[in-house]
Copies of this chain bind each other. A is one copy, B any other.
Amino acid sequence: MAVNLVAPEPESLHPVPGVDLGVAMAGIKRTNRKDLLLIRLAAGARTAGVFTQNRFCAAPVLLAKQHLAQGAPRALVINTGNANAGTGDDGMTRAGSVCEAVARHLGCAAHEILPFSTGVIMEPLPSERIIAGIRAAVADLRESNWASAAEAIMTTDTVAKAASRRVRLSTGVATVTGIAKGAGMIHPNMATMLGFVATDARMPQAVLERMLREITEASFNSITVDGDTSTNDSFVLISSGAGPAAEGEGDLRALADAIREVAIDLAQSIVRDGEGATKFVTVRVEQGVAIDEARRVAFAIAHSPLVKTAFFASDPNLGRILAAIGNADVIDLDAGKVDLYIDEVLVARGGARSPEYRESQGIEAMKKPEFTVRAVLHRGSAAATVWTCDFSFDYVKINAEYRT
């Protein structure tokens, strides 16, 4: 029961010239479902990636980082159903054999393939089944396949996630289209579980990488479902180069805005489809000393199980939010200065319940499927926004029953 989220119409996802996508049913974990995705890039395409900070990062993450350092990739291969994490040397060997198989089919080198996996941790990757499925994925390669691609990377997702924009540059119209997956183990630290955004606009590698870092912070690194950072988080930004060049300041800003919109749309989709989510909550922290501090406070609110269960109950037990703010490790925070709002309702002023506040107002605001929690620290001018969902019976149900 995702919150205000439906799968995008396939026609709304603009093809990105220079980027072909092909899917297959490889039977990795279950039969009769799309579970393998191949993304083929035109010669000259540039790729930048950010990856999980989890020390138990998966074999494909290690290999994708190595391959990315060796030069421009020609294809990405993504499987769902198995994360190939906690699998040791065998996991590396199997990820490598998948890359070799793709390279054979596409006529390039194995190090030009970036592998990605998502699914259950600590079970051997069924690489034979993946390799057997590659032929079908190659046969399916086409530019108009984004909707199908979004479906092929789902795990506990209930809705396929994709977004698309067109943006006018001085040199022509550029396209930005992306897909993502993720519903649990979501507190990305560098990237979401998996996100892939491509544009046909041409730009230097250094610009692409700078854009990736800046946009990751504002999108995938600003969401949390359960505070758990996955072993497989990856976000990849591709510039196929088949479209217009992004040249001056204005073009780069317009392009970055479009990519950021797509990335935020995808990141918010992950929260809307968060495991068991019934509420989509924006947490905004204002007037902190530094952005880092504002983010820390916002995540302290967004991670607290007590706050999240109160969201679920539409219960304005808002002292829990103050307690969460107090736990954010802002050493010299003056609790007596903090104001707290739910949407436009002033709940607490100067760290204590506002005299005008009536609980009926809080209930009214929190009953909605979407609302904003806003904390004003009165310490400086830095602000941060993060997005999260509530903590429901279904979160427990989904995670107690996953796998079984």
Contacts and interface: CB of A to CB of B under 8 A. Distances in A.
Contact of A333 (B55, B227, B327): B55
Interface in A308-340: 309-310, 312-313, 315, 317-320, 322-328, 330, 333, 335-336, 338
Nearest to A227: B305
Nearest to A401: B313
B305 A228 contact: yes
A61 B41 CA distance: 61
A226 B326 contact: no
B86 A56 contact: no
Contacts of A185: 306, 320, 323
Interface stretch (A1-9, A257-265, A346-354): A346-354
A82 to B, nearest CB: 11
A113 to B, nearest CB: 23
Interface size class of A (residues with CB under 8 A): 35 or more
A139 interface: no
Interface string A111-142: 00000000011111000000000000000000
Interface string A374-391: 000000000000000001
Contacts of A287: none
Best-buried of A226, A310, A402 by chain B (most CB within 10 Å): A402
Contacts of A226: 305-306
A373 to B, nearest CB: 14
B56 A325 contact: yes
Nearest to A225: B305
A403 B56 CA distance: 40
A229 interface: yes
Contacts of A86: 319, 322-323, 335, 348, 351-353
A396 B54 contact: no
Contacts of A88: 336, 350-353
A397 interface: yes
A56 B326 contact: yes
A164 interface: no
Given A327-B54, A351-B88, A319 B122 contact: yes
